[in-house]
Amino acid sequence: MTEIHKESVYFLGQGGRLAGDCWMPESPSRGTVLLLHGGGQTRHSWRAAGDTLAGAGWTTFAIDSRGHGDSDWALDGRYGLDAMVEDATEVVGALPQPPVVIGASLGGLTGLVLAGEQPAAIRGLVLVDAVPRIEPAGARRIAAFMHSAPDGFGSLEEVAEAIRAYQPQRSRPVNLDGLRKNVRQGPDGRWRWHWDPAFLRPPDACEAAQMSARVRVAAARVQAPTLLVRGGLSDVVTEDGASDLLRMIPHAKYADVAGTGHMVAGDDNSVFLTEVSGFLDDLDAPA
């Protein structure tokens, strides 16, 4: 492992300023990695991954998507996949070299569209529980959680309990200070999730159909080395959904991480990073 340095960075997306972190190895970089979080998350969900990847020699960036974390809220209220791809295109264009994109859930679909539509823009693709064919029941469970506290929470203890109920496989944090990166405290003293409520507006039927078609067409065009990491307990991506993706990207590698749900990287970060590290080592190996 090499020494690393972390600093805050900012990019200009189509919807405004995007906040990010950059982990830089002190030894010569092996390449660039871009981490894209899922809907409702922030760049801080990649904290351990950023440390590990930079420690292994990769210059690593993680950004807050529009309307999330410390990034600007979109004045036009656009938070669909099209808008996320527009922003990611701007970020990738500002990086020193084509990155390996590692995306979770919505971030993974964003990376998938980039890889299919702009093959020269990325070096590799890691999809973290993200495939074109998702399970409606799992998607509804996520939506129900995100809509569950419109009036916020009275304390960080209430925030922790809501997360524990949603992700029972995870241990409840002993130190609640880390939760401050996932919520913001309003003038009324209540804590609310760190995303623009407009993000929760569902797409209409036409928009959803167009988005689904765009993802599937892009997947069939992916040429970059690809790894799909599925949570073994995920109710969003099933084995059938994974098989569907592997038929469209036959050269893709596949890892199923037992005992993890949709948030694979957070549920078992060590196994997730082992799979990703092996994939990156193969990219870096001499031809």
C-alpha to C-alpha distance for 166 and 260, rounded to whole angstroms? 13
Residue in the block written with tokens 């099209």? 82
Q: Is the pLDDT of residue 195 over 90?
A: yes
Looking at residue 249, its pLDDT comes to 98
Give the domains, in start order, of the chain with CATH numbers: 4-135+205-284 (3.40.50.1820)
Element housing 64 (H / E): none
C-alpha to C-alpha distance for 162 and 67, rounded to whole angstroms? 21
Instruction: Give, in degrees to the nearest 5, the angle at Cα 209 between 83 and 114.
Output: 40
Looking at residue 91, its pLDDT comes to 98
Say if residues 88 and 37 touch (Cβ distance below 8 Å).
Answer: no
Element housing 192 (H / E): strand 191-193
DSSP 74: P
C-alpha to C-alpha distance for 82 and 227, rounded to whole angstroms? 23
Report the half-sphere exposure of 72 (CA within 13 A, side-chain side): 15
Rounded mean pLDDT of the chain? Answer: 91
Burial of residue 190 (number of CB atoms within 10 Å: 0-12, 13-18, 19+) = middle
Say if residues 58 and 129 touch (Cβ distance below 8 Å).
Answer: no
Say if residues 101 and 126 touch (Cβ distance below 8 Å).
Answer: yes
C-alpha to C-alpha distance for 1 and 217, rounded to whole angstroms? 39
Say if residues 259 and 37 touch (Cβ distance below 8 Å).
Answer: no
| Pick from 93-97, 247-251, 265-269: least confident | 265-269
Looking at residue 259, its pLDDT comes to 75
Nearest one of 138, 92, 159, 130 to 226, comparing CA atoms: 130
Kindly indicate the confidence band of residue 3, based on its pLDDT and cuts at 50, 70 and 90: low
Instruction: Give, in degrees to the nearest 5, the angle at Cα 260 between 259 and 266.
Output: 135
Cα distances (Å, whole numbers) of residue 88 to 84, 92, 140, 155, 159: 6, 6, 26, 34, 30
Joined together, the tokens standing for residue 21 give 């972190």
Report the half-sphere exposure of 183 (CA within 13 A, side-chain side): 26
Is pLDDT larger for residue 267 or for residue 256?
256
Residue in the block written with tokens 């890892």? 255
Looking at residue 74, its pLDDT comes to 95
List, in order, residues 6 or more apart from 269 with CB less than 8 Å away.
Answer: 48, 49
Pinpoint the alpha helices (H) of the chain.
47-55, 81-94, 106-117, 136-146, 156-166, 205-220, 239-248, 264-267, 269-284
User: How do residues 129-185 score in pLDDT, each as one tens digit?
Assistant: 999 999 999 888 888 888 888 899 999 999 999 888 887 766 676 678 888 888 999
Say if residues 255 and 156 touch (Cβ distance below 8 Å).
Answer: no
User: How do residues 32-81 score in pLDDT, each as one tens digit?
Assistant: 999 999 999 999 989 889 999 999 999 999 999 999 999 999 999 999 99
Say if residues 151 and 162 touch (Cβ distance below 8 Å).
Answer: no
C-alpha to C-alpha distance for 41 and 278, rounded to whole angstroms? 25
